[in-house]
Amino acid sequence: MTHAHITSWLIAIILFLIAVSLQRSGSAKAKMVQMVLRLFYIITIITGVLLLHSLASLSILYVIKTLAGLWVIGAMEMVLMAMKKGKSTAVAWVQWVVALALVLFLGLMLPLGIDLF
Protein backbone atom coordinates (compact mmCIF):
# COMPACT_ATOMS: atom_id res chain seq x y z
CA MET A 1 0.00 0.00 0.00
CA THR A 2 2.91 2.38 0.67
CA HIS A 3 3.98 1.97 -2.96
CA ALA A 4 0.49 2.79 -4.22
CA HIS A 5 0.45 5.82 -1.90
CA ILE A 6 3.86 7.07 -3.06
CA THR A 7 2.98 6.49 -6.74
CA SER A 8 -0.31 8.38 -6.42
CA TRP A 9 1.07 11.49 -4.69
CA LEU A 10 4.09 11.57 -7.01
CA ILE A 11 1.78 11.50 -10.06
CA ALA A 12 -0.42 14.15 -8.39
CA ILE A 13 2.59 16.48 -7.90
CA ILE A 14 3.70 15.99 -11.51
CA LEU A 15 0.15 16.63 -12.81
CA PHE A 16 -0.07 19.71 -10.58
CA LEU A 17 3.12 21.17 -12.09
CA ILE A 18 1.85 20.37 -15.62
CA ALA A 19 -1.52 22.01 -14.80
CA VAL A 20 0.30 25.11 -13.51
CA SER A 21 2.36 25.49 -16.69
CA LEU A 22 -0.67 24.85 -18.94
CA GLN A 23 -2.72 27.38 -16.95
CA ARG A 24 0.13 29.89 -17.23
CA SER A 25 0.24 29.50 -21.01
CA GLY A 26 -3.55 29.84 -21.16
CA SER A 27 -4.04 26.38 -22.66
CA ALA A 28 -7.53 24.86 -22.62
CA LYS A 29 -5.93 21.52 -21.66
CA ALA A 30 -5.32 22.87 -18.13
CA LYS A 31 -8.90 22.04 -17.16
CA MET A 32 -8.57 18.43 -18.32
CA VAL A 33 -5.28 17.91 -16.49
CA GLN A 34 -6.86 19.39 -13.36
CA MET A 35 -9.72 16.87 -13.57
CA VAL A 36 -7.25 13.96 -13.71
CA LEU A 37 -5.29 15.63 -10.89
CA ARG A 38 -8.45 15.58 -8.72
CA LEU A 39 -8.76 11.85 -9.35
CA PHE A 40 -5.22 11.40 -8.03
CA TYR A 41 -6.07 13.47 -4.92
CA ILE A 42 -8.78 10.90 -4.23
CA ILE A 43 -6.43 7.94 -4.82
CA THR A 44 -3.82 9.55 -2.53
CA ILE A 45 -6.43 10.06 0.20
CA ILE A 46 -7.80 6.51 -0.15
CA THR A 47 -4.32 4.90 -0.04
CA GLY A 48 -3.45 7.16 2.93
CA VAL A 49 -6.60 6.07 4.77
CA LEU A 50 -5.77 2.41 4.03
CA LEU A 51 -2.29 2.97 5.49
CA LEU A 52 -3.90 4.49 8.59
CA HIS A 53 -6.21 1.48 8.75
CA SER A 54 -3.24 -0.90 8.84
CA LEU A 55 -1.97 0.68 12.07
CA ALA A 56 -2.56 -0.92 15.45
CA SER A 57 -2.67 2.47 17.17
CA LEU A 58 -2.81 6.03 15.95
CA SER A 59 -0.18 8.41 17.36
CA ILE A 60 -0.40 12.20 17.15
CA LEU A 61 2.30 12.16 14.44
CA TYR A 62 -0.05 10.21 12.17
CA VAL A 63 -2.79 12.76 12.76
CA ILE A 64 -0.36 15.59 11.88
CA LYS A 65 0.87 13.61 8.83
CA THR A 66 -2.73 13.20 7.61
CA LEU A 67 -3.57 16.89 8.14
CA ALA A 68 -0.35 17.93 6.37
CA GLY A 69 -1.19 15.59 3.45
CA LEU A 70 -4.62 17.18 3.13
CA TRP A 71 -2.97 20.62 3.42
CA VAL A 72 -0.67 19.83 0.43
CA ILE A 73 -3.76 18.91 -1.63
CA GLY A 74 -5.59 22.05 -0.45
CA ALA A 75 -2.58 24.23 -1.33
CA MET A 76 -2.44 22.76 -4.87
CA GLU A 77 -6.11 23.66 -5.34
CA MET A 78 -5.44 27.15 -3.96
CA VAL A 79 -2.57 27.78 -6.41
CA LEU A 80 -4.68 26.69 -9.40
CA MET A 81 -7.75 28.66 -8.23
CA ALA A 82 -5.69 31.83 -7.66
CA MET A 83 -4.12 31.47 -11.13
CA LYS A 84 -7.54 31.03 -12.72
CA LYS A 85 -8.88 34.14 -10.98
CA GLY A 86 -5.73 36.10 -11.84
CA LYS A 87 -4.96 36.68 -8.15
CA SER A 88 -1.55 36.47 -6.43
CA THR A 89 -0.40 32.89 -5.91
CA ALA A 90 2.44 33.69 -3.47
CA VAL A 91 0.60 32.71 -0.26
CA ALA A 92 -0.66 29.47 -1.82
CA TRP A 93 2.82 28.54 -3.09
CA VAL A 94 4.40 29.17 0.34
CA GLN A 95 1.74 26.94 1.92
CA TRP A 96 2.41 24.22 -0.67
CA VAL A 97 6.17 24.23 -0.04
CA VAL A 98 5.79 24.24 3.78
CA ALA A 99 3.09 21.52 3.76
CA LEU A 100 5.03 19.36 1.29
CA ALA A 101 8.24 19.61 3.34
CA LEU A 102 6.29 18.68 6.48
CA VAL A 103 4.48 15.74 4.86
CA LEU A 104 7.65 14.33 3.29
CA PHE A 105 9.54 14.63 6.55
CA LEU A 106 6.78 13.01 8.64
CA GLY A 107 5.98 10.37 6.00
CA LEU A 108 9.58 9.25 5.77
CA MET A 109 10.16 9.49 9.51
CA LEU A 110 7.13 7.35 10.42
CA PRO A 111 7.79 3.61 10.49
CA LEU A 112 5.71 2.16 7.60
CA GLY A 113 7.31 1.73 4.16
CA ILE A 114 10.78 3.06 3.44
CA ASP A 115 12.56 3.86 6.72
CA LEU A 116 15.06 6.69 6.34
CA PHE A 117 15.51 7.93 9.90
**Residues at the site binding ligand HEM, with contacts judged by CB under 6 A:** 2, 5-6, 9, 12, 44-45, 48-49, 51-52, 62, 65-66, 69-70, 72-73, 103-104, 107-108, 110-114
- Pick the closest to residue 42 from 16, 82, 73 (CA basis): 73
| Nearer Cβ to ligand HEM (28/60) | 60
Residue 46 DSSP class: H
Would you say 79 and 87 are in contact if contact means Cβ atoms under 8 Å apart? no
Looking at the Cβ atoms of 30 and 51, the one nearer to ligand HEM is 51
DSSP letter assigned to residue 51: H
Q: Measured from the CB of residue 43, what is the shortest distance to ligand HEM in angstroms?
A: 10
